[in-house]
Amino acid sequence: MSSARSDLLEVAMADPRYAVEAYEFLCQALAFTQQSMGKPREKKNLEAGDDGVNHVTGQELCDGIRRFALEQFGLMTPVVFSCWGIKETADFGKMVYHLIESGLWHKSDNDSIDDFSEQFDIGTAFQDHEIDWKGGD
């Protein structure tokens, strides 16, 4: 197991509010968001002079989470999130700030946990999307 994955699992297991899988999903959603925005995915250290080129805001991450979840889980997203302990987008903010407090993630001076509040309604945000069924004929 890689050191980064081990560190993530340790931080996730220290937070009983959310399933470890929720933290793994959050990391994947961040990479998805950065890639979709054309931002570099390599980790940079803010204290070492990172210019924030790969930084995404809480609102941008929430949009990326929504799009990535739709891709991964489709209409089942609210069920999956509920199983993980996620009831609202503010829960993602709590997870992000837990990762920040643990030293695994960094934030800019303009970031706030409130950036994650009420970004979309988990119960309804995944209902009205057309699904591309790739089943056999």
Query: In the chain, where do the E strands start and end?
Result: none
Query: For the chain, how many structural domains are there in total?
Result: 1
Tell me, yes or no, whether 128 lies in a domain: no
Helix, strand, coil percent content, the chain, rounded in steps of 5: 55, 0, 45
Residue 121 in domain: no
**DSSP for 105-134, written as a single string:** S---TT--GGGGTTSS-TTTTTTS------
**Per-residue pLDDT tens for 70-97?**
999 998 999 999 999 999 999 999 999 9
The domain of 76 spans 3-39+58-116
39-72 tens-digit pLDDT: 765 554 333 334 456 789 999 999 999 999 999 9
Q: Tokens 């399933």 correspond to what residue? A: 19
Residue 127 covered by a domain: no
